[in-house]
Amino acid sequence: MPTKTFSFEFFPPQTPEGIERLRATRRQLAQLKPTFFSVTFGAGGSTRDRTIGTILEICAEGQQAAPHLSCIASSKTVAREMLERYHASGVKRVVALRGDLPSGLVDPGEFRYANELVAFIRGEFGDAFHIEVAAYPEYHPQARTAQDDLANFKRKVEAGADSAITQYFYNADAYFAFVDECQAQGIDIPIVPGIMPINKFSQLARFSDSCGAEIPRWIRRKLEGFGDDTASIRSFGLDVVTQLCDQLIRGGAPGLHFYTLNQAGPASVIWQRLGLS
Ligand SMILES: Cc1cc2nc3c(=O)[nH]c(=O)nc-3n(C[C@H](O)[C@H](O)[C@H](O)COP(=O)(O)OP(=O)(O)OC[C@H]3O[C@@H](n4cnc5c(N)ncnc54)[C@H](O)[C@@H]3O)c2cc1C
């Protein structure tokens, strides 16, 4: 049986305190021996230097680092320079994304969709990088139809993606149905579920609405009912998300990717409850 991939995602911090906090988070999560740590990239290049800086720190700590690269509003020259720098620093995995056009910007740049970035990386760097792409079990909010979105996902795989990480979801059936559909279409790369621990309801609800991730009614109603009681939200959230992860792993998911929001606590607790360490 192939080894499962376990990974943790961070955003690049803005302040010296945030940088220190993330270092402490990484020290804690490194003990779990994940496959890699990934670092997000603000579309339009807004976090460019901070993403590169965080990635280089992770490499220097002896961990596998996977930078996200979102291509909208970017040029081939800029993408090539970043990839060359990563390659020279020993990075072996990248997460290739389109990103969303920052508000106010209208020029999409030289890449329109992630499949074009994947093809560019393969064309320029051969097999130097393991390329991850995004997948959407509940479908991307801008997709015209579910079928279109699947066809577009297939385009990324045909362009050379090695594996995929999903948008988060709380309904395991959506993931398994998506994987079945992919297999029926001849897509056989590993599709690793993205896991979002639940910490704050209002933030999660806002974000879920914008990225098209459904919070099932029973979870939403329970979370709403807890009001400002953060301890109950966290405790319920840990139960729900641990159960989801357990269902996914038992059902054959090829790993888990945690959206940590730079916190070690929730992912570590879920990890321990799953008996992964
Ligand atoms: C694991 C993960 C990590 C992420 N990390 C970041 C990050 O670091 N920074 C960031 O800014 N965002 C990030 N995002 C968000 C992501 O950038 C957005 O969801 C974005 O809207 C779509 O990116 P994509 O790479 O999936 O785009 P694409 O695969 O290009 O798809 C975007 C939309 O266009 C459609 N489409 C694709 N190809 C075509 C085509 N050839 N013709 C017509 N339509 C097409 C698709 O169906 C979809 O609706 C992440 C998402 C995930 C799941």
How close is the Cα of 141 to the center of ligand 1, in Å?
Answer: 10
Give 1's pLDDT tier (boundaries 50, 70, 90).
low
pLDDT in tens, 128-148: 999 999 999 999 999 999 999
The amino acid occupying position 215 is: I
How close is the Cα of 71 to the center of ligand 1, in Å?
Answer: 10
Atom of ligand 1 nearest to the CA of 113: 30
List all residues 6 or more positions away from 43 whose beta carbon is below 8 Å from its beta carbon: 70, 72, 73, 99, 100, 101, 102
CB-based burial label for 55 (10 Å; 0-12, 13-18, 19+): buried
Q: Would you state the pLDDT for residue 158?
A: 98
The per-residue pLDDT of the chain, averaged, comes to 96
Min mean pLDDT across 44-53, 172-181, 244-253 is at: 44-53
**What's the pTM?**
0.98
pLDDT in tens, 181-216: 999 999 999 999 999 999 999 999 999 999 999 999
Q: How many CA atoms lie within 13 A of 276 on its CB side?
A: 26
Q: Give the residue, by CA position, lying nearest to ligand 1 atom 37.
A: 152
Q: Determine the residue of 55, 118, 140 to mutate for testing ligand 1's pocket, defined as the one with the most ligand atoms within 8 A of the Cβ atom.
A: 140
How close is the Cα of 114 to the center of ligand 1, in Å?
Answer: 6
Are 200 and 226 spatial neighbours (Cβ–Cβ below 8 Å)? no
Helices (H), the chain: 16-30, 48-60, 76-88, 114-125, 146-158, 172-184, 201-211, 217-225, 230-250, 265-274
Active-site position among 9, 116, 132, 138? 9
Coil, strand or helix at 165? strand
Look-up of token digits 């994987």: 179
Catalytic residue list contains 9 = yes
CA dihedral (119, 120, 126, 131) positive or negative: negative
The amino acid occupying position 198 is: I
Q: Give the residue, by CA position, lying nearest to ligand 1 atom 15.
A: 99
The token pair at 200 is: 């704050």
Cβ neighbour number for residue 173 with a 10 Å cutoff: 11
